[in-house]
Structure 1
């Protein structure tokens, strides 16, 4: 994981813990979004939080296709770089 990805993952972890009440020990880049309980509603809440807190707007289809938290970090990186 690059330094940038590490920073983005820390931001994602904060949102997951503070806004979606996911337990911090369960949060790992390889963790499955489904295993963490990120259903379509939770992903929408995550999308709103990412936009409000970080200014990163992820396309809904891309977020739906993410299988792991690492995938979400990669999406965050691509969207914030573009």
Structure 2
């Protein structure tokens, strides 16, 4: 998925649209990313302005990877990997 630029751009456009809509309505955007993998979509959501992102990954090695990536990002206070 990381190298699937077309799909990632479509996901980004969807996240941007919904998050902007929530902000326009003064509703906090809380994103739930199920099957987060590396956390790519969670990072996108946080970058686009989501106030809170919950990233869920059941495969522990991948969850550990996502957690490390998130912790090294500027959005670590917005994203919780579980």
- Normalised by the length of structure 1, the TM-score is 0.31
| Greater strand proportion | 2
Higher RCO, 1 vs 2 (CA within 8 Å, ≥6 residues apart): 1
Q: Which is richer in helix?
A: 1
Work out which of the two has the higher radius of gyration on C-alpha atoms and give 1 or 2: 2
User: What TM-score, normalized by structure 2, do the two folds share?
Assistant: 0.31
